[in-house]
Amino acid sequence: MLGVRRKHRTVTLENPHLQGYHNHNFGRKSGRFPCEFRWRNERGRGKEKSQKSSKEPTPTISFDDRDMRGWDEPMVISVAVPEYKVERVLIDQGSSANILYRSTVEKMQLSAGLMQKCLGSLYGFAGECIPFLGTIELETSFGEQSASRTIPILYMVVDAPASYNIIVGRLALNRLGAVEKYAPTDEVNALDLDLNPRSHFE
């Protein structure tokens, strides 16, 4: 829908100095304010200054360690692909694949020739199976301005309802060298790792 911009009129004063004051109460022009009006005006200014000086200071808003509570919210970012800025991009370190949904492909109006055939399926935690429609490699930019970085990412295209437009998996994050950082704690946890767990069942 096209918008119509109205032209604003600009009035240029040849003489910027006020030559006369028109007081509707007195019905005449004069070169200065009437004494009564000027006295009331000065009294009002003094009252306004006293109100400003007696105004209570704004309270300070601060945060301490009690506000640094743990959280498990998903990390959702925006990325840039050729000629588009894509929002609602989920960072999923538990996914080995980069997922691009068919609805996103259609919104971006990507050429069908960019999609390569791919045999395979995507399996979810509940056991649901969604076949791949194909793969698309797109130059994807992360970050903004001088801190941005662009890498080619191979996306698996699927046709499924989703709350996100793209899911970026750990393989793409590894290529970026990106690490999710959480608030540090004073505790140190030690993990006892068994490099050969099958030995317990032999």
Q: Which H or E run includes 1?
A: none
Supply the pTM of this predicted model: 0.55
If you ran DSSP here, which 8-state letter would residue 9 be given? P
Spell 43-65 as b/e; 16+ CB within 10 A means b. eeeeeeeeeeeeeeeeeeeeeee
Is it true that domain 75-176 has CATH number 2.40.70.10? yes
If you ran DSSP here, which 8-state letter would residue 12 be given? -
Domain boundaries, the chain: 21-45, 75-176
Count Cα neighbours of 92 within 13 Å in the Cβ-side half-sphere. 15
Per-residue pLDDT of the chain (202 residues; tens, 9 = 90+): 434 444 433 333 344 433 333 333 434 444 444 444 454 555 555 555 555 556 677 777 776 776 666 666 788 999 999 889 999 999 998 888 999 999 999 999 988 889 999 888 888 766 788 999 999 999 999 988 788 899 999 999 999 988 999 999 999 998 888 766 656 666 666 655 565 655 544 5
